[in-house]
Structure 1
Amino acid sequence: MICKGVEVLSPLANGFCFGEGPRWFEGLLWFSDMLGEAVHTVTLHGAMTTVALPGHAPSGLGFSPDGSLLIVSTQKRAVLRYDGDAVTTVADLSATAPADLGDMVIDDVGRAYVGSQAFEGGVIVRVDPDGSSTVVADDLAFPNGMVITPDRATLIVAESIGRRLTAFSVTPDGSLTDRRVFADGLDGPPDGICLDADGGVWAAMTLAHQFERITEGGTVTERIDIGDRAAIACMLGGPQRRTLFLVSAADAYPKRLVGTKRSRVDTTTVEISGAGLP
């Protein structure tokens, strides 16, 4: 299939260091500024607010059933909770995770699936609402963005070093089974991902400088070229969940960007609405 290009991008937010983990919740886009030690929100009109997280490098975000925000603290290997007032630690994964943490997805009962980003031997850790943790998938090549399908039966994870999307069946007790390839041999390392109502996965193809919509089996149906910028993460939200939020950076390697403010969020409108979690 010849893939379509999405032509019109609209700038929404800039002036932060390294955006990650975008989530659409209650009419706002929420995203981490990993190097800026903060979480930002932005309205569809571009108005921003900031939650400062001194001493933390936040990445994955998600919302508990009670509406509180869970935040992955990458280097401290912990999951934090922000209740609108204070930040507390939900789970310390330093004894469980073999490498720094990355992205996260939360299911309807509040179980958080968190990736530990080892280049080899990466794992997904499930953090239950009581704060206990269990490794539910292993031997992953740098697990990154994750989504859960609308029927809550499948979790898809981006393996960045493996250049593939991998699917697992989600059992009623929250275990991950039946590992299988959703798409392989991708154009670049996939980073953040989101899912649409037709089962297509939008993926930030970091070193390929583009965002792609990928269907099961690996067909790319749409591409969004962003020039020399690194594609970091994406999220479907806004009216009818047809606004695709695109987070990009001036460089794919965060350590090169310390002290800069060249990350940004752009938007475009797509035909197929978002679905599933997050």
Structure 2
Amino acid sequence: MTGSTVLLDQLAFPKFPRWHADRLWFSDVHDGRVWAMTEQGQGEPVTAVEGWPAGLGWWPDGTLIVVSMNDRTLVAADRTGTTTPIAALDAFAAHPWNDMAVTTDGRAYIGEFGHDPLGDGAPDGARLVCVEPDGEAWVVAEDLLFPNGAAVLERADGVTLLVAETFGQRISAYDVQADGSLARPRVWADLRPNVPDGMCLDVEGALWVADPVNEGVMRVVESVGAVAWVPFPGRSPYGCALGGSDGHTLYVCTGASTNPARTITERRGRVEALRVEVPGVTRS
């Protein structure tokens, strides 16, 4: 691995990257737009989400679905960029909603903050909700410590939901049952003293995980923890995704602040890229 290359800059607060259909998709949260970018760095906004776009995913038919963070709603975006509400999440928690992982059959697992990011109160236990493609939603897990990054590990022997608990400084795992419920909660990797945020899977079942507090990204192996570290001095990585034409490019969303009063005016957000040995998981 070598140093990163800046592919796109002058963004506000880029986060929640996903590689899909030969492009990198991400939310520029505080700017209220979802972007899509080629592996060469040619990017364009594809839809606007007034309530701030968060986690991204796709239904089996290719429809883009987006978590509207402050509106506490899951929306679908059509080819014109028009968004349609799919599921209201405010009945489950009044805090902002965050990252999302979508299974190949279209179930979306979404976490909420569990606290007021602008307040001084201690964080409460946060919830995970499962949303079916028809909009039916229910709570599948509770008492998480700020669920942030999310990924789905699908193998012949079953499906596992992985969740980065930022305040818990760990990756947690759940077995996904046939009805969408979650079972056998466990610690997949203890990451102390690191602080996990957005993450992605490679073909060996390891995770690349962003750590905005310690300014780097790490490769994490189940039951072992971090086995590799790439520093981003003076930058905070908030999310990462594996992609590119051969799957060996690690795209990292970085910034200098989480304060929207600064991010909108300073526009120091970037999408950076580096090459890694193990490629990412390809999903149709």
- The answer to whether the superposition gives a TM-score over 0.5 is yes
Q: 2:100 matched to which residue of 1?
A: 104
Q: Which of 84, 87, 91 is the matching residue for 1:91?
A: 87
Contact 1:59 1:71 in 2 (8 A): yes
Structure 2: state its 5+ residue gaps: 115-122
Deviations, residues 208-228 of structure 1 (Å, cap 9, x unaligned):
100000111243221110001
Deviation at 1:56, TM superposition (A): 2.0
**Structure 1 residues 146 and 190 mapped into 2: Cα distance closer, same or farther (>3 Å)?**
same
Structure 1 range deviating more: 184-193 or 139-148? 184-193
One-letter code aligned to 1:154: T
Deviations, residues 153-184 of structure 1 (Å, cap 9, x unaligned):
11110000111100001111111110000111
Q: 1:43 matched to which residue of 2?
A: 38
Q: How does 1:183-194 map to 2 (within 5 A)?
A: 183-194=189-200
Q: 2:253 matched to which residue of 1?
A: 247
Q: TM-score, normalised by structure 1?
A: 0.94
State how far apart, in whole Å, the 2-side matches of 1:35 and 1:72 are: 14
Q: Which of 122, 143, 147 is the matching residue for 2:147?
A: 143
Q: 1:234 matched to which residue of 2?
A: 240
Contact 2:250 2:276 in 1 (8 A): yes
Deviations, residues 47-103 of structure 1 (Å, cap 9, x unaligned):
111134252211100011110100111111101101112211111111112421000
Q: Secondary structure at the match of 2:10?
A: strand
**Structure 1 residues 114 and 277 mapped into 2: Cα distance closer, same or farther (>3 Å)?**
farther
Structure 1: state its 5+ residue gaps: 1-5
Deviation at 1:187, TM superposition (A): 3.1
Q: Secondary structure at the match of 1:110?
A: coil
Structure 1 range deviating more: 43-52 or 127-136? 43-52
One-letter code aligned to 1:155: L
Q: Secondary structure at the match of 1:198?
A: coil
Q: 1:259 matched to which residue of 2?
A: 265
Contact 2:49 2:68 in 1 (8 A): no
Q: 1:209 matched to which residue of 2?
A: 215
Percent identical: 36
Q: 2:51 matched to which residue of 1?
A: 56
Contact 1:148 1:277 in 2 (8 A): no
One-letter code aligned to 1:147: A
Contact 1:103 1:144 in 2 (8 A): yes
Between Structure 1 and Structure 2, how many residues are aligned?
A: 273
State how far apart, in whole Å, the 1-side matches of 2:42 and 2:54 are: 21
State how far apart, in whole Å, the 1-side matches of 2:180 and 2:261 are: 35
Q: 2:112 matched to which residue of 1?
A: 116
- 1:24 is aligned to 2:19: yes
**Structure 1 residues 66 and 233 mapped into 2: Cα distance closer, same or farther (>3 Å)?**
same
One-letter code aligned to 1:140: L
Deviation at 1:122, TM superposition (A): 0.5
One-letter code aligned to 1:122: A
What is the root-mean-square deviation of aligned Cα atoms in Å? 1.6
State how far apart, in whole Å, the 1-side matches of 2:282 and 2:41 are: 25
One-letter code aligned to 1:127: V
One-letter code aligned to 1:199: G
